[in-house]
């Protein structure tokens, strides 16, 4: 069995945020699998086969990638962001654990990528400047009560919170419910940032307070960052060449109380 599988994080979208290792892995693949819009970002080389699949078919896609690798192909399986963060890497190992014994002998490599939380943080300032957590608001694979429990402990622990998958057409109410829960624990002044399609042409950033955050402003392409108690904004002066400067959002490194 000489095939291999490399699981590649493509980053948030801009080609400049791809790593060299990710590019090399893509260039060396005979077959590239992924969700259609991620494959659309690539410029395949002559002879490379692209296999697009739908958004909710992670486990099937993982099995297809493993099967191709087991048949001797050099397979790349792509995710947006980092493939280990709410993306394909976990689905692949789940497929291996429950799949053919031969898959455990495969050469599997994971290439990290810039996950949405890091790209959003960089655009905003330094909101993750201290201890933080990442929670997927999708309740497709976990009960909502578990999401609530994690939100509660994240707020009680005063973590900065990055919310992945805050909303979609099929999950319209979860972000509002999360804000309601957090409003019962955190001060209303805590900053909340909506970072949409970071590094892509349709990028949009909005900053609210927890009291005023409007869940309707989020969609599938949005990452939401909810500050810790110490997170703060730095106002910036208007300049002729930059009349409407967004404030910087950051969380100080220093913290005083438990």
Site for its own copies in 73-102 (CB under 8 A): 82-86, 89-94, 96-97, 101
| 255/1 Cα distance (integer angstroms) | 53
Three-state DSSP at 191 gives strand
List strands edge to edge, sheet with 125-126: 125-126, 248-250, 232-234
Residue 156 contacts residue 173 (beta carbons within 8 Å): no
Place of tokens 């109380």: 257
Q: How far is the CB of 249 from its own copies (least distance, A)?
A: 9
Closest CB to its own copies among residues 47, 230:
230
Q: Which of residues 20 and 169 has its CB atom nearest to its own copies in the complex? A: 20
CB 162, min distance to its own copies, A: 10
Minimal distance, residue 95 CB to its own copies, in Å = 11
Site for its own copies contains 191 (CB under 8 A): no
Smallest distance, its own copies to C-beta of residue 58, A: 8
Q: Answer whether 116's CB lies under 8 Å from 47's CB.
A: no
Q: Give 86 or 194: the residue with its C-beta nearer to its own copies.
A: 86
Nearer to its own copies, 83 or 174 (CB): 83
Query: Per-residue x/- marks for its own copies, 9-28, CB under 8 A?
Result: x-x--xxxxxxxx--x----
Closer residue to its own copies (CB): 218 or 230 = 230
Q: Which of 35, 38, 179, 250 binds its own copies (CB under 8 A)?
A: 250
Determine the interface stretch with its own copies among 40-48, 183-191, 202-210, 229-237 (rule: CB under 8 A). 229-237
CA 239/CA 148 separation, integer angstroms: 43
The CA distance from 163 to 153, in Å, is 14
Nearer to its own copies, 40 or 255 (CB): 255
User: Most distant CA pair in the chain: distance in Å?
Assistant: 65
Site string for its own copies, 145-174 (x = CB under 8 A): xx-xxx-xxx-xxxx---------------
Binders of its own copies among residues 113 to 142 (CB under 8 A) are 113-115, 118-119, 121-123, 125-136, 141-142
Q: Give the HSE-up count for residue 71: Cα atoms under 13 Å, Cβ half-sphere.
A: 10
Distance in Å, CB of 256 to its own copies, minimum: 7
Dist CA 178 CA 193 (whole Å)? 14
* Distance separating alpha carbons of residues 82 and 200, to the nearest angstrom: 16
Rounded to whole angstroms, the Cα distance separating 182 from 155 reads 7
Give me 102's structure tokens: 């031969």
């Amino acid at each position: 069995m000489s095939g291999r599988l490399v699981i590649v994080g493509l980053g948030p979208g801009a080609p400049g945020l791809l790593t060299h290792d990710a590019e090399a892995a893509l260039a060396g693949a005979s077959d590239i699998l992924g969700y259609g819009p991620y494959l659309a970002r690539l410029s395949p080389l002559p002879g490379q086969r692209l296999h697009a699949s739908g958004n909710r078919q992670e486990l099937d896609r993982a099995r297809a990638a493993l099967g191709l690798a087991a048949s001797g192909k050099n397979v790349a399986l792509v995710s947006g962001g980092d493939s280990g963060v709410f993306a394909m890497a976990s689905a692949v190992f789940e497929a291996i654990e429950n799949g053919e014994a031969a898959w455990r002998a495969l050469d599997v490599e994971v290439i990290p990528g810039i996950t949405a939380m890091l790209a959003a943080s960089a655009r905003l300032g330094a909101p993750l400047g201290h201890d933080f957590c990442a929670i997927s608001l999708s309740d497709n694979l976990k009960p909502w009560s578990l999401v609530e429990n994690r939100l509660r402990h994240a707020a009680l622990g005063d973590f900065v919170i990055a919310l992945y998958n805050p909303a979609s057409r099929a999950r319209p109410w979860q972000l509002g419910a999360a804000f309601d829960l957090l409003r019962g624990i955190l001060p209303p002044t805590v900053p909340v940032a909506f970072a949409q399609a970071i590094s892509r042409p349709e990028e949009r950033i909005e900053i609210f307070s927890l009291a005023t955050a409007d869940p309707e402003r989020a969609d599938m392409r949005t990452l939401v960052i909810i500050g810790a108690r110490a997170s703060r904004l730095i106002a910036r002066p208007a300049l002729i060449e930059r009349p409407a400067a967004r404030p910087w959002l950051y969380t100080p490194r220093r913290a005083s109380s438990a």
